[in-house]
Structure 1
Amino acid sequence: MKYIKKNSYLLLFATILLTAGCDSKLDVLPTQSIDENVALGTSKDVEVTLIGCYDGLQDADLYGGGIQVTSELLAAGTELLFGGTYSNLLELYNKTITTSNTTALSTWTDSYNTINRVNNVLSALSVVDEEKRSRIEGEALFIRGSLYFELVRLYGKTWGDGNNATNPGVPLILTPTRVITEENQVARNSVAEVYAQAIADLIKAKAQLPLSNGNYATKHAATAQLSRIYLMQENYAAARDAANEVILSGDYDLEAQFSANFFTFLTNGGANPEEYIYSMIVTQQDGVNAMNTYFGTTVSSIPGTSGRSDIRISTAHRALYETGDVRGTFFITPSNNTFTRKHLDTFGNALVFRLAEMYLTRAEANFRLGTVVGATPLVDINVIRTRAGLAAATTVTLPSILKERHLELAFEGQNLHDIKRTRGSVGTYAYNSPKLILPIPQRETDVNPKLVQNEGYN
């Protein structure tokens, strides 16, 4: 999310960024005139461009926190308060979004910018060193599949709200865009088509990604993303099995203390906790965490904290916790307003998936299906409850499972999507209200008449 409105924006199909991060090359031809065989002529060129794909993914409007903030603000009913001054965020909070909203525009253009970088990588795999080729393709597909999933659930109707095969999703662009012509003016693919592409990308990514890959995408990250997609589709068996696979891998452990999942820079030296499956790494030199920007605040007694203090936590949310729940005390009230402690760390990593979510998904899916894969729903829920300092439950119901999910993953970017898939509501707005869907940016519909606008927007 941009702090100020840019003077100009890259349009959907005007992204011709092939070699992000190549400033070490002093004699560079204008990007528009570089022949693709020169721009991506070696394995090193493709590898550098892949780094550019990750750089795009960690943008503040994408997995650097912007996508998560958008979910939380759109889902804000009585549990969050917004005290900021940016009109684009206030529109999200008030459900009065306009087609010129800069958050809707930045998330769209930055996503397609990054997807175009990915498509350039995928188009040049033949020049990649053979021993690296499969991994690089897997990483690129993980990024593209993840972004199409996020785009379709922000800009399209939720899965199952009407006909998935005819509801408009977002355009699927699967080849590089280098020269802009009328042929680049494409219509929106259906919700079903976008989901199918995201799943296909991630299944292939999972097959080609390694189990360990430093700070980059791994096999388990792709599996966790697939689990989320299947859960959105109410494909509970597939969601359960993917979550179970991550849990049983043994590569991640629940932190003994709930609080250990946060303050990754201040108390963990910038390293991910054992519970993190995937995150966007933030350092003092690079990266940003928009969750810190908007949920965070400066606390004088905790050096290294910061934030705009825009998003506050209401008493209505805090009243949801049982007595003794450590999650219910994971807040701070430095003056008159209360903030979550999850996002105080200035250089805290931007979380994408952690293991607790996999336990919660497995519990819910097993309960809905009446199955016991990996563990019973009661056992999985008690893993989460006892870590939070609560007594083990003796029984579980679907509402109790969903409540544990809500409290455990609060302010981590999943609230809107959980409300939609469980057919809930945000205040007086039903899960399928057009007010809870972002508009196609006006700048995009102005230049591409084939882009049909969402219901409720002119």
Structure 2
Amino acid sequence: MKLNKIVVVLITTFICFSCEDYLDLAPISEETSDNAYNSASQIEAALTGAYESFQSSDYYIWDNVLFQDVRSDNYYAGGDNPEIFSIDELTVSPTNSKVYGSWSNLYNAIAKANTVLDKVDGVTDVKLTEERKEQIKGEAYFLRAYHYYNLVKLYGGIPLVLESVKSANPEDVNIPKSTEEDVYTQIIVDLQEAISLLPDTYGNDNSVNKARATSGAANALAAKACLQKPNPDYSLALMFIQEVEASTANYTLIAYEELFDGNHYNNDESIMEIQFLGGDEGNWGPQLLLPPSISGDSWRKFVTPSHNLIDAFDAEGDDVRKNVSVLFESVQWVDEYWGNEIGSSIPFAYKWKNASGWASSDRQYILRYGDIVLLKAEALNESGQLDLAVAEVNKIRIRASLPELTNEQKSSKEVLRISILKERRLELAQEAQRWDDLVRYNLAVSTMNSLNEVDLRTGSSVNYNMTEAKILLPIPQQELDRNPALVQNPL
């Protein structure tokens, strides 16, 4: 298996560690670890293995885009996989392999972070300083929180596993769901602990600072969790955002084109990103999305921008972000939404720019400052501070060469709320944010049911039949079979 791409840049201080991301354990949410970690190099290797999940799991490579952008109004499914089409059509079943894969990917990643937290205090090697030991804890707390944040958004209430499992007894491994509220509480607790332990930076090398958890990353994720949880805490979110802004990492907006041109990795807007290096340390996701002229192949791609998204860019006159995010090209396959004949011009997801034969150096941002600016606007607006909220939105619009919000677009809290949501859609397309935004704004059902999408093969409108029950993914059937303490989500 590939070595951890995030920490390749740290090879002078870390020992590289290869780690299986799929373990044959029952249930998958309760991995068992009997390994002892006695030396500084062993615990650093365990931490390397924890970071490795960002590259080895399908979820962080592109399933997150499927469940956020394709499941929403941003993109259509493509390719030839019925399970991916079911995500687009909102007919996801408990036996869908993507449902199980995401669950297992994320719980395996949590298990790795738990191992680090369980073992680090027992390491007495003099080479492991107390300062470094505290940083390791902070990094592991952040990683656990990040994975739980993605799990709870996908599945709602889930089992909380906060230490390595040391027994195979059913009462120890068959853990019932915690409530959604309790999961978010634990996420914020973990992040507050991480904030207290992590530095703003690890020095002057951004290839290190953007690869590892920092206090800025922990504060940014805490702000997102405060807004996404069932009962948002706007004042606490603003406190965390204030700490992001005060960080000596000096996060700032950069030219939008530079965010995704493949030449400005670890930039000043990046809070944390996956460190794909290309070649043996490459990202295979771009090959699935990019057009034939870039990918070098001729088969139908898996993620296609929707008419609704393109219309949203055009309605705003947003050429900057549209040209960065979308590329039109004629193709030699039939697309049921963009042209029911060979040779039609269709849009492609274009925030990744280089396929490189399944070994791209193109990266996903784990966290970036532009997202946080718009979340600040959201929290300010919901707190009744409309003028301050408008100022934050305008920072993003000016960066995109758009005029400031009009009086009509900011005339009330309710109107400004929708303006912020529209801005987030255009800013963050293909960055695995859209479904969460619709859910947070309580607009997932109405948005999906109001879409006017036409299947050109039949001329019929597509009926998504969206319901409240479909907001969450089903608990994977494999996990229900393994853990009788679990209860299925409403279907």
| Fold shared by both chains (TM-score > 0.5) | yes
The reply to whether residue 318 of structure 1 matches residue 310 of structure 2 is yes
Q: Distance in 2 between matches of 1:324 and 1:100?
A: 40
Q: Distance in 2 between matches of 1:255 and 1:305?
A: 35
Equivalent of residue 383 in structure 2, options 369, 374, 378: 369
**Which amino acid counterpart does residue 261 of structure 2 have in structure 1?**
F
- Please tell me the root mean square deviation across aligned C-alpha atoms, in Å: 2.7
Q: Distance in 2 between matches of 1:445 and 1:195?
A: 22
Matches within 5 A, 1:97-112: 97-112=92-107
The reply to whether residue 57 of structure 1 matches residue 54 of structure 2 is yes
What's the TM-score once normalised by structure 2's chain length? Answer: 0.77
Provide the residue aligned with 2:189 in structure 1: 200
**Which amino acid counterpart does residue 191 of structure 1 have in structure 2?**
E
Task: Specify the SS of the correspondent of 1:66.
Answer: helix
Task: Specify the SS of the correspondent of 1:333.
Answer: strand
C-alpha contact (below 8 Å) 1:82/1:90 kept by paired residues? yes
C-alpha contact (below 8 Å) 1:324/1:390 kept by paired residues? yes
Q: Distance in 2 between matches of 1:418 and 1:250?
A: 29
Provide the residue aligned with 2:109 in structure 1: 114
Matches within 5 A, 1:6-405: 10-13=25-28, 36=35, 39-75=36-72, 77=73, 79-128=74-123, 129=128, 130-156=130-156, 169-183=157-171, 184-213=173-202, 214=208, 215-233=211-229, 234-249=232-247, 251-264=249-262, 267-268=263-264, 271-285=265-279, 287=281, 289=283, 292-300=286-294, 309-321=301-313, 322-323=316-317, 325-330=319-324, 331-335=326-330, 336-345=345-354, 346-371=360-385, 376-395=388-407, 396=410, 397-405=416-424
Structure 1 pair 142/430, CA: closer, same or farther in 2 (3 Å)? farther
Percent identity (aligned): 29
C-alpha contact (below 8 Å) 2:200/2:247 kept by paired residues? no
C-alpha contact (below 8 Å) 2:27/2:483 kept by paired residues? no
Q: Distance in 2 between matches of 1:210 and 1:431?
A: 44
Q: How far apart are 1:17 and its partner, in Å?
A: 7.3
Q: Distance in 2 between matches of 1:135 and 1:252?
A: 20
C-alpha contact (below 8 Å) 1:231/1:239 kept by paired residues? yes
Structure 1 pair 106/286, CA: closer, same or farther in 2 (3 Å)? farther
C-alpha contact (below 8 Å) 1:11/1:109 kept by paired residues? no
Structure 1 pair 103/196, CA: closer, same or farther in 2 (3 Å)? same
Structure 1 pair 52/256, CA: closer, same or farther in 2 (3 Å)? closer
Q: Distance in 1 between matches of 2:63 and 2:199?
A: 28
* Higher mean C-alpha deviation, range 271-280 or range 132-141: 271-280
**Which amino acid counterpart does residue 144 of structure 2 have in structure 1?**
R
Q: Which runs of 5+ in 2 are unaligned?
A: 1-20, 203-207, 331-344, 355-359, 411-415, 450-463
Q: Distance in 2 between matches of 1:11 and 1:250?
A: 44
* Higher mean C-alpha deviation, range 178-187 or range 242-251: 242-251
Q: How far apart are 1:288 and its partner, in Å?
A: 5.4
Q: How far apart are 1:235 and its partner, in Å?
A: 1.3
Provide the residue aligned with 2:438 in structure 1: 419
Structure 1 pair 298/260, CA: closer, same or farther in 2 (3 Å)? farther
Structure 1 pair 340/383, CA: closer, same or farther in 2 (3 Å)? same
Q: Distance in 2 between matches of 1:431 and 1:366?
A: 30
C-alpha contact (below 8 Å) 1:17/1:117 kept by paired residues? no
Q: How far apart are 1:254 and its partner, in Å?
A: 4.0
Q: Distance in 2 between matches of 1:281 and 1:298?
A: 25
Structure 1 pair 274/61, CA: closer, same or farther in 2 (3 Å)? same
